[in-house]
Chain A
């Protein structure tokens, strides 16, 4: 249940970025967050935290779009590269247990979708 902690960071970042928009936007409609599959984040809990923490802010009513980045790795023995399925960090090509994780640890605010008067 660390989703509230993480969501607090999301909200703080979104509010700061949204307020700094030039020209200012009318409304925030969507927030896209990319999360690596290594993070043990439950999307439903995060959505719930988002609804609660966004109340009475400009973020309220916007949609949280969570994009999961699969885990990818490289085998240090045979140089195979590709998607892996945790918890099995084993090379599907040569069976070695020498997988270095390349992707899947991300957690970042990717983009904001806003409505503007034009």
Chain B
């Protein structure tokens, strides 16, 4: 009996990459933009979407893919605002993979849409690892989570093309150090735009909507 070593060099995200490429092709065919919102449970991802509905409706047609482990509650919230929404239940999985997103995408009337938001499963770790074929990942961080999160979850903030800092209406009641938070984000990626918003008061939402429209136009 002898032993030998065989070199392979094979990418291990290949299966997901294949579906991500499929999604990209599908989006391109229909001239669609897809944005992937990633943040912890309770960061305010659904509230952010709710706060954007009115101004987004003025400029484009959009739909939301809601990723959750269980329940259709988030989808119901958006449905109340007449947003086209599809609920993906990951059934325990902590992130969305490209294949699941593909199955939901093909069920949308893609020719009637300009933009798809994916609200990923609440989690700052795993969703950052998986390419779903989106044009941009967006990190959603709330001021109640603490200013150190960009340093604790660097992959998300390296992968993201923008940060939305939510719940800023609560700043007067918290010890949250805004300057330290912005410095921490810059440590991980100094080129990231940061949008400070309050979904509750609407403050700052327009700025983020403008950025979304710029991404949509390929800027």
Contacts and interface: CB of A to CB of B under 8 A. Distances in A.
Interface in B1-18: 1-16
A114 B11 contact: no
Interface string B112-153: 000000000000011011100000000000000000001110
Given A9-B12, A109-B8, A114 B3 contact: yes
Given A9-B14, A98-B190, A17 B2 contact: no
A39 B7 CA distance: 22
A13 B157 CA distance: 30
Contacts, number: 106
A101 B130 CA distance: 18
Interface residues of B, number: 37
Interface in A67-118: 86-90, 97-98, 101, 107-118
Nearest to A10: B12
B1 A115 contact: yes
A21 B10 CA distance: 15
A112 to B, nearest CB: 5
B187 interface: yes
- Interface of B, helix, strand, loop or mixed by DSSP: mixed
Interface string A28-40: 0100010000111
The size class of the interface chain A forms with chain B is 35 or more
B94 interface: yes
Interface of chain A: mostly helix, strand, loop or mixed = mixed
A113 B94 CA distance: 33
B97 interface: yes
A113 B15 contact: no
A117 B1 contact: yes
A74 to B, nearest CB: 15
A32 to B, nearest CB: 9
Interface of A: 1-2, 5-6, 9-10, 12-13, 17, 21, 25-26, 29, 33, 38-40, 86-90, 97-98, 101, 107-118
Given A108-B8, A110-B9, A115-B2, 12 more contacts: A17-B10, A29-B3, A40-B125, A40-B155, A87-B152, A97-B187, A110-B8, A111-B6, A112-B5, A116-B3, A117-B1, A118-B2
13 contacts: A5-B97, A6-B12, A6-B129, A9-B14, A12-B15, A38-B158, A40-B125, A87-B188, A107-B12, A108-B8, A108-B11, A109-B10, A114-B6
